[in-house]
Amino acid sequence: MQISIQKTKVSRLGSVDFNDLPFGKIKSDHMFVVDYSSGRWHDARIVPFDHISLSPANSALHYGQSIFEGMKSQIDSRGVPLIFRPEQNLKRLNLSAQRMCMPVLPEKLFLEGLKKLISIDKGWIPEGSGKSLYIRPFMFATDDSVGVKVSESYMFIIFTSPVSPYYNQPLKIKVADKYVRAFDGGVGAAKAAGNYGASMLPTKEAYGQGYHQVMWMDGHEFKYIEETGTTNVFFVIGDRVITPALDGNILDGITRKSCIQLLEDKGVHVEQKRVDINEIIEASKNGILNDAFCTGTAASVVHIELFNYRGNDIILPNVAERKWSNYLGEKLDNIKCGIEADKHGWILEVNETQSA
Ligand SMILES: Cc1ncc(COP(=O)(O)O)c(C=O)c1O
């Protein structure tokens, strides 16, 4: 499909302070938009980032057929934009789409639109430690009709935002003991907007008590650890590295799978299993809970300082002593900005001649 390009007449780039990038607030000049109706995607275009007009009867607003992704781009020493594993985000977007009864997006359309957009807004990719261009692809229903049914029309958009790190300190985490994020047969494995809407109240309550995040537990017994509101989680007990298995209720994180691969490369087997909170408490009591960390695109690899479980704190060792989270954080950052060799073919280079 041909992608039409309408560039902005006045770039906002000059007005941005790249030393002050509150996460997600600043949007780059352009966005990629595609419409879906009558059973096909059409009118692929790059246009200036702007408001869109929707009917008050827009079905996504009422019934929640809305899904999204998050990716990042960084620039390498040659000035080439690099995108980390975008085909994995498309794969997950399409899984989310299937679960939410929405149309899947063809890979070629996604990648071509993405590369053109990043190439055009290349100047918006910030340089400097931990900074990157956050990429937000999303799809939502656009039927103009009140009536609970599958929408027949959709819009897919990608816009971007220069960002600093999402978290700038080790996390204090509240273990959920009242609310549940996902349940068997539900939409926990989908990156569906409603999952995040449902997490707002518990997260606000946790913030109010001085925590940065909620750690979600299984909905049957509140016994097995799932993930946090924005990341997957890993634990190191003695020499064992453990992470909750993909049970259909958690997100198949791209940072999670990359960390598992990087650890396997070092000869470390990662146990993907049901993680009983009592195993973590026991390890902490025995002095062998050596590390706990969160992984996600926005967050990268971030240390956990403590968990609060039913009023008691489980405290983790000093961050300087955390072997694997420190290793993974540095290794991944270096791969993403091209300092380290991309052994696994995770990086998509945006070459201007192929995409502009
Ligand atoms: C609920 C949840 N779990 C896990 C993740 C981590 O996924 P990824 O590493 O693909 O960003 C995210 C972020 O996307 C998330 O929102």
Reported as a single tens digit per residue, the pLDDT across 281-334 is 999 999 999 999 999 999 999 999 999 999 999 999 999 999 999 999 999 999
Tell which one of 89, 134, 213, 255 to mutate to probe ligand 1, the residue whose CB is within 8 A of the most ligand atoms. 255
Ligand 1 near 253 CB (within 6 A): yes
pLDDT at 353: 55
Q: Which residues of the chain have pLDDT under 70?
A: 353-356
Dihedral of alpha carbons 194, 101, 256, 166, sign: negative
Atom of ligand 1 nearest to the CA of 191: 16
pLDDT, tens digit (0-9, with 9 covering 90-100), for 30-52: 999 999 999 999 999 999 999 99
CA of 252 to the centre of ligand 1 (A): 7
pLDDT at 355: 47
pLDDT at 205: 97
Residue 234 makes CB contacts below 8 A (sequence gap 6+) with 241, 242, 243, 256, 259, 270, 291, 292, 293, 294, 295, 324, 325
Residue 318 neighbours by CB distance under 10 Å: 9
Tell which one of 135, 228, 246, 251 to mutate to probe ligand 1, the residue whose CB is within 8 A of the most ligand atoms. 251
Q: Are 163 and 124 in contact (CB under 8 A)?
A: no
- pTM equals 0.97
CATH number of 171-321: 3.20.10.10
- Name beta bridge partners: 234: 293
CA of 256 to the centre of ligand 1 (A): 8
| 3-state SS class at 76 | coil
CA of 165 to the centre of ligand 1 (A): 15
Ligand 1 near 255 CB (within 6 A): yes
Atom of ligand 1 nearest to the CA of 256: 9
Q: In this structure, are strands 171-175 and 213-217 parallel, antiparallel, or unpaired? A: parallel
Tell which one of 226, 227, 231, 259 to mutate to probe ligand 1, the residue whose CB is within 8 A of the most ligand atoms. 231
| 3-state SS class at 137 | strand
**Which residue's CA is minimally distant from atom 15 of ligand 1?**
230
For the chain, residues classed under CATH 3.20.10.10 are 171-321
Distance separating alpha carbons of residues 203 and 188, to the nearest angstrom: 17
Atom of ligand 1 nearest to the CA of 69: 14
Q: Which residue has the tokens 């403590």?
A: 306
pLDDT at 356: 46
- Tell me which fold the domain 4-164+339-355 belongs to: D-amino Acid Aminotransferase; Chain A, domain 1 (3.30.470)
Ligand 1 near 251 CB (within 6 A): yes
Structure letter (DSSP) for residue 192: B
CA of 211 to the centre of ligand 1 (A): 19
| 3-state SS class at 231 | coil
CA of 253 to the centre of ligand 1 (A): 5
Ligand 1 near 275 CB (within 6 A): no
Share of residues in the chain with pLDDT > 90 (%) = 96
